[in-house]
Copies of this chain bind each other. A is one copy, B any other.
Amino acid sequence: MAGPDRPPTSRDLARLAGVSQATVSRVLTNSPRVSPDTRARVLQVLAEANYTPNALARAMKTGRTDTIGVFMTRVTSPFHAALLDEIGRLLGEVGLHMILWNIEHDPEEEVSKVIQQRLVDGFILTSATYTSKLHTIAVASGTPTVLIHRGIDGLDCDQVVGDNWQGAFDAGRYLVEAGHRDIGLVTLKHTGNTSRDRDLGFRAALAEAGVSIKDSNVISTNVAHADGHAAARELLSAKKPPTAIYTVTDLLAFGLLDGARALGVTVPDDVWVVGFDNTDMASWEAFDLTSVNQPVHDIVKAGIDLLRRRIADPTAKPTILALPCPLVIRGSTAHTVVD
């Protein structure tokens, strides 16, 4: 009998049941070419060995793994952690498992190989950028693919994103309508549509109101808390610092707030701060951050629905959705109009 230190193989089971391996295979695949007696004997041995028909064997047979591959970067960012948690939760609700590839740590060639291996029934990409080819490789692989959170303009596949441009526009209009004229913008260097649209939408709102934004008030930086912290020090130590700063992610906003704290600059009395994502942490007293809300649940739900539709019907016409991102006002901005 196979002990717990070695899983029973179909060879072991065949020996135990006194049948050939081929017969074990036939029982596992519900072939009609097995007598009821033999089937019963094999199934009893399987049960005694605590044997679940091997998922790999089943996958080879059915072509389905009930597993979705998720490509993501930066699980340590509060927004991406919440996104990952929601993907796992909603996949679990429909009986699907998740393989997570953190593409931050894997070279692109390695990830490309993984894509070709067809380990999964579908791909979810949450971190597409214009400088990566992974999304085109995924779509070309023929495995059903959905982009969520970050989209790629014109890519012929299912995509569900937040309406980053409109959310950013509304944030810009809110600051302008509150009377701010010296406004700081902290944006990201990377090439995702998220940071691009959160930048362009914000600038459009200011332009529409005739408010120009000084070059020295724009900082293009990296993704970490420390980068927001450094941006605050640069913007707030200027001779005439901005009266409001908008940034394209909450994590940068937390860094901005901590940078202001380190300088003894008071929020919102001395400077307003607006983020983007509306992570849970934005509502904590430590930050109390006004932020544009990303509808994480709705984005993930719609993305998984589209992916399942595509698995069922690979010829379905691609759907591209941009869900509304409303501004949530908190204590990092004064609610009344400033002079």
Contact = CB atoms under 8 A, between A and B. Distances in A.
A82 interface: yes
Contacts of A142: 2-8
A258 interface: yes
A116 B2 contact: no
Contacts of A280: 76, 225
Contact of A257 (B97, B254, B286): B286
Contacts of A113: 52
Contact of A97 (B9, B97, B101): B101
A84 interface: yes
A117 B75 contact: no
A270 interface: no
B5 A314 contact: yes
B140 A4 contact: yes
B114 A97 contact: yes
A181 interface: no
A99 B118 CA distance: 14
Contacts of A56: 56, 59-60, 65, 117-119
Interface stretch (A26-34, A85-93, A197-205, A319-327): A85-93
B6 A314 contact: yes
Contact of A99 (B9, B97, B286): B97
Nearest to A263: B285
A155 interface: no
A51 interface: yes
Contacts of A131: none
Contacts of A74: 85
B88 A100 contact: yes
Interface string A34-75: 000000000000000011101111011001010100000011
A106 interface: yes
Interface in A234-292: 254, 257-259, 261-262, 280-281, 284-287
Interface of A: 2-9, 50-52, 54-57, 59-60, 63, 65, 67, 74-76, 78, 81-82, 84-85, 88-89, 92-93, 97-102, 104-106, 110, 113-114, 116-119, 139-143, 225, 254, 257-259, 261-262, 280-281, 284-287, 314-315
9 contacts: A4-B140, A7-B143, A8-B142, A50-B116, A57-B60, A74-B85, A76-B81, A76-B85, A98-B102
